[in-house]
Structure 1
Amino acid sequence: MTVGDSPTGRRALLAAVPTALCGLSGCAGVLGGSPSVSLLVAGSLNNAVENGLRSAVDARLQPEAYGSAVVARLVADGRKDPDIVSLADVALFDALLSAEWVAEFATNALVVVYNPETAAGERLANGAPWYDVLLEDDTSLGRTDPDLDPLGYRTLFCLDLATDYYGTDLDLREAIPGPDQRYPETQLVSQFETGAIDAAVVYRNMATERGYDYVDLPAEIDLSDPTLTERYGATSYELPDGTVVSGDVISYGSTLRHESQRTREVFEAHITGEYLTEFGFTVPDDYPRYTGNVPESITN
């Protein structure tokens, strides 16, 4: 086992990443002499924010994207001080940030993207069971680190649920994952696009917004169906700091930390904008859904 794969090594990595990425200056700032609105967001939101939200608001945006667990720790440790924080797992707001209030604003689903030009991709395109293909020695899989990112531990949840759903002889959560498969969320797509990996477990929006070939997974394992919450909750993962996250419906949440007219306008556009569905997210009829001590200026 290498240092990076050990619990101690991962704790050291988590502590080092925010320092290397940020310093102590925070996210808020002034771009070109004009006040900007800073956003620290989950990596799977990055493309939508950069190419959807940015053009939908008048304010100058200063977005940064990392895995959601990293985002939460950057803020919790005081190394970043953004106006808006948006995570791919609302549970992290309580577990790591102790946010006073949160707006749930979008959902998603897990899919398996593949390169049809590879042997593994051809098998998937021809309808071979996705888990059989991922078990094969000649298939290179990409996924994110579960210690840094909800997509990473949701991939493990999916594999855990799939073992029961398909009734496989092997424990897919134990048999498929390997340490050499892990990439930061913001790099996973580039690894797939350059052909370094045959397949990857990603959010559906990441596949649809880029036009990737992908395998749709059953609702029983893709973490997309609110009626299956109890089933999803049968699986869990322990983060390096001891926080235990349980399987649940994928739900994105956001909170506004520094309120002004400018930041409120951006926040409202962020959590209600049509760009979300345009970039592959699902917005249920009852979203945005608020929890906590929400300021009246936000809900009115």
Structure 2
Amino acid sequence: MKLTRLCAFIGLIVAAAVLFSGCTGTTEDPTTTPTPTATAAEDVQVKVFHAGSLTGPFEKVKAEYEAEHAGVTVLLEPAGSVDCIKKVTENGKPADVVASADYYLIPEMMIPEHADWYLTFAKNRMVLTYSNESKYADEITAENWYEILDRDGVRWGFSDPNSDPCGYRTPMVIQLAEAYYEDDQIFETLVSEHSAITVTDEDGVYTIHAADPKPDSTTLTIRPKSVELVQMVQAGGLDYAWEYRSVAVQNDLEFIELPEEIDLSSIDFAENYATVQTEAKKGDGTTLYVGSPIVYGVTVPKIAEHPDLGIEFVETLIGATGQEILTGDGQPPIVPAGGYGDVPDALQSLVEMKA
């Protein structure tokens, strides 16, 4: 028995020696852990909170970005711009990029606690959208749209002024229309008669009280995001909806372009736009959004989990690729983008710094 065990032990020693000698002649040591391949970015998810009106172009920017960043997935999360920012500032949800349809919301709600910088990167204008099946589609023009919306049986809508810049901008446009068309009943007949939204005038400044809109949902419909209304127009649930021009272009909707004096598109009429403001909910109180040209903003929050990748997404957005995408989607880019605050060095060559 002892002899058998000794033979077995010697056999094991011999086998181990043969195996070792066979391996020393190879170029790879199997006992060494292989060096990992370059997959540092593998399975990384870049989260982008953005205005619903940016959904079309951002899907294209996402595709271009992912093509240049192997292993990185961009998660787009559209919502009303106010809600996008509140996810970060109130709920503590990490986002690598936040893009707002009203650039001013970033310095107002995020600087300096939640972000150090922001860029202005695109413009837009308010339009009234419809389909070929909408009531009076063959009659509506830039001169009579407010009369068409007031006709019996016409259903129209806009987004929630408390959640979405398109929502607090829509009643501004309607109020500005009174002076332009010389009809001081436009707001009353279109908005106040079909909701709890009212307007007051003090020294030539009109304040629209929209914190608790309560639409009748028969003539006037209000939804959290303006893009939700697109499907309603396409399906025939609404005849008309207020949107940004880019949204109309991206969704092949018919639309009426309004005079620049009232559509919030031109810096030439900034003083005129500032004569209207919308009061909306903010926490337990209210806030005022003052009429101004429509300008989009973007930043990388301090809470970002992948700030460098977020900055690279912004670089794609404001560079030649993003400019081409925005232009094709009916949303004029700002070239170069305007920079405010401590803009990262990686973006400096694409930005014109502002005061």
TM-score using structure 1 length = 0.83
Q: 1:278 maps to which residue?
A: 328
Matching residue's letter, 1:182: I
Could you tell me how far 1:278 is from its partner in structure 2? Answer: 1.2
For residues 181 and 116 of structure 2, the distance between their equivalents in structure 1, rounded to whole angstroms, comes to 41
Q: What is aligned with 2:189?
A: 175
2:293 corresponds to which of 249, 254, 257: 249
Which of 273, 276, 280 in structure 2 is aligned with 1:232? 273
Q: Does 1:152 align with 2:167?
A: yes
CA pair 62-227 structure 1, distance change in 2 beyond 3 A: same
Check whether the contact 2:130–2:240 (CA below 8 A) recurs between aligned residues: yes
1:190 positional shift: 1.2
SS of match in other structure, 1:215: strand
Pairs within 5 Å for 1:182-261: 182-185=222-225, 186-241=227-282, 242-257=286-301, 258=304, 260-261=307-308
What is the aligned partner in structure 1 of residue 12 from structure 2?
none
Select 2:338's aligned residue among 289, 293, 296: 289
Residue 347 of structure 2 aligns with an amino acid whose one-letter code is: I
Q: 1:103 aligns with which of 111, 116, 119?
A: 119
User: In structure 2, do the counterparts of structure 1 residues 79 and 194 end up closer, same or farther at CA, with 3 Å as the change threshold?
Assistant: farther
- Report how far residue 263 of structure 1 moved: 2.6
- Structure 2 letter corresponding to 1:84: V
Q: Given residue 241 of structure 2, which amino acid in structure 1 is its aligned partner? A: A
Range with greater deviation from structure 2 (132-141 or 264-273): 264-273
Aligned to 2:207: none
**SS at structure 2 position matched to 1:118:** coil
Question: After superposition, where does 1:1-150 map in structure 2 within 5 Å?
Answer: 34-50=43-59, 52-58=60-66, 59=69, 60-98=73-111, 99-124=115-140, 129-150=144-165
Separation in structure 2 between the aligned mates of residue 151 and residue 75 of structure 1, nearest angstrom: 20
**CA deviation vs aligned residue, 1:107-134 (integer Å, no higher than 9, x gap):** 0001111122232323216x76111101
Number of aligned pairs? 265
Structure 1 unaligned residues grouped into runs of 5+: 1-31
Please say if 1:298 is aligned against 2:307. Answer: no
- Structure 1 residue ranges, 4+ long, deviating more than 4 angstroms after superposition: none
For structure 2, the 5+ residue unaligned runs are 1-40, 195-214, 350-355
Question: What's the CA shift for 1:295?
Answer: 2.7
Letter of the 1:297 counterpart: A
Answer with 1 or 2: which has the greater Rg. Answer: 2
SS of equivalent residue, structure 1 residue 269: helix
The answer to whether the 8 Å contact 1:120/1:138 transfers is: no
- SS at structure 1 position matched to 2:148: helix
More helix by share: 1
- SS of residue in 2 equivalent to 1:219: coil
Deviations 1:229-278 (A, max 9, x none): 11111100112122211000000000022365433221111233121111
Question: Which amino acid in the other structure matches residue 348 of structure 2?
Answer: T
Residue identity over aligned pairs, in percent, reads: 30
Mapped to 1, the partners of 2:184 and 2:268 lie a distance apart of 27
8 Å Cα contact 1:147-1:239 kept in structure 2: yes
In structure 2, relative to structure 1, the CA distance for the partners of 1:96 and 1:137 (3 Å cut) is: farther
